[in-house]
Amino acid sequence: MALLPVVAEEQVLRTRTREQSLCPQIWALLDNVYDPEIPVISIWDLGVLQDVSEHESRVEVAITPTYSGCPAMREIESDIRKTLNHAGYSSIEVVTRLSPAWSTDWMSEKGKQQLMDFGIAPPTPTWDVRKVICPQCVSTDNTLISEFGSTACKAMYKCHNCLETFDYFKCI
Ligand SMILES: [Zn+2]
């Protein structure tokens, strides 16, 4: 039986893009931009922030929306501008990349842990069939109650161990 990868290949490529970037200070600034719906997870750890480049005094930031039509993206774009403006960058272009489409595999391990701490079950890897984990008691003995939780990108589960219901961040 082949060993399953621990980290998605996409995740490795994203990390490489960031590590090889010529403007690490801008990436670091953008670590202060969080997802409006889950304010504990940064747009980098969520897998939304794709690339950053600086040409003379112009900064270009590439982002990929999570779920299509997610209203949070407008807010994220405005937060990116505000954060960079505060740091003295005035010419900012935010580019939306729709292809390849965002996948929960782009979420970092840190991001998944932060989701869990926030009370939301993190998405299981797309190549894995592991069960959903209850963020309260870490039990895998739970059942799907509703395909739609507090938002369309979450499903609602009930844990049979601690009897709590919780949101699961759907895997795509
Ligand atoms: Zn539980």
Residue ranges of the chain that CATH labels 3.30.300.130: 9-104
Residues 56-59: contacts with CB under 8 Å, at least 24 apart: 57/89, 57/90, 57/91, 58/91, 58/92, 58/93, 59/23, 59/26, 59/84, 59/89, 59/91, 59/92, 59/93
- 116 C-alpha to ligand 1 centroid (Å): 12
- 138 C-alpha to ligand 1 centroid (Å): 6
Q: pLDDT grade, residue 156 (50/70/90)?
A: very high
Tell me the C-alpha distance between 120 and 38, whole Å.
Answer: 9
- 128 C-alpha to ligand 1 centroid (Å): 21
- 107 C-alpha to ligand 1 centroid (Å): 23
- 167 C-alpha to ligand 1 centroid (Å): 12
The pTM for the full model equals 0.85
Q: pLDDT grade, residue 126 (50/70/90)?
A: low
Tell me the C-alpha distance between 126 and 145, whole Å.
Answer: 21
pLDDT at residue 1, as a whole number: 42
Q: Does domain 9-104 have CATH number 3.30.300.130?
A: yes
